Amino acid sequence: MTWETATELDNRGFNLSRGASPAGPDIKLNETLIPSQSQGLPGSGFPYTWEDSRDLVPGTTYYYWLDDLDVNDTLTRHEPVSVTYGSAPTAVALAGFGGTPALPAALPFAAAGLALVVGAGLALAGAGLQQGR
């Protein structure tokens, strides 16, 4: 399971729970509080990841709840998300998205030409050294 915070002002940490029904969780996944990466500080949030591999049955749909605990010990439970477990990964977390601009068609040839010029220059310099002997 992957989640990301927008800010962590007054946040102590998180608990994760799992259930086989959207009615409510059956088990708490973490033994201790998953600590906030920036407890009590305003600003940007952080990404979190928890890998669940405990007693999973292929083909079963599981529901996950995220609870956040603030510095006043107020627990806030968020709506569940569901995942059907299979033998292959069931979700992919996208860490970033970007592209590489296409190179102009002449650029690879220009680089090859530069390599040829440098190579020819070295060959000439080597020939000059041999002639100077």
14-63: pLDDT as tens digits = 999 999 999 999 999 999 999 998 776 667 788 999 999 889 999 999 99
62, burial (CB in 10 Å: exposed 0-12, middle 13-18, buried 19+): buried
pLDDT reading at 1 higher than 50: yes
- The residues spanned by each domain of the chain are 2-84, 103-133
CA-to-CA dists, residue 89 to 80, 83, 93, angstroms: 19, 10, 11
Q: pLDDT at position 94, please?
A: 38
Instruction: State the architecture of 2-84 in CATH terms.
Output: Sandwich (2.60)
Query: What whole-number distance in Å separates Cα of residue 62 and Cα of residue 101?
Result: 41
CA distance 79 to 23: 11
Residue 53, pLDDT score: 87
Residue 120 has pLDDT above 80, yes or no: no
Q: What is the pLDDT of residue 8?
A: 84
Q: What are 8's two structure tokens?
A: 């962590």
Closest CA to 82 of 56, 61, 96, 101: 61
Quick one: which H or E segment has residue 71?
Answer: none
pLDDT per position as a tens digit, 53-84: 889 999 999 999 999 999 999 999 999 999 99
pLDDT of 14 reads 95
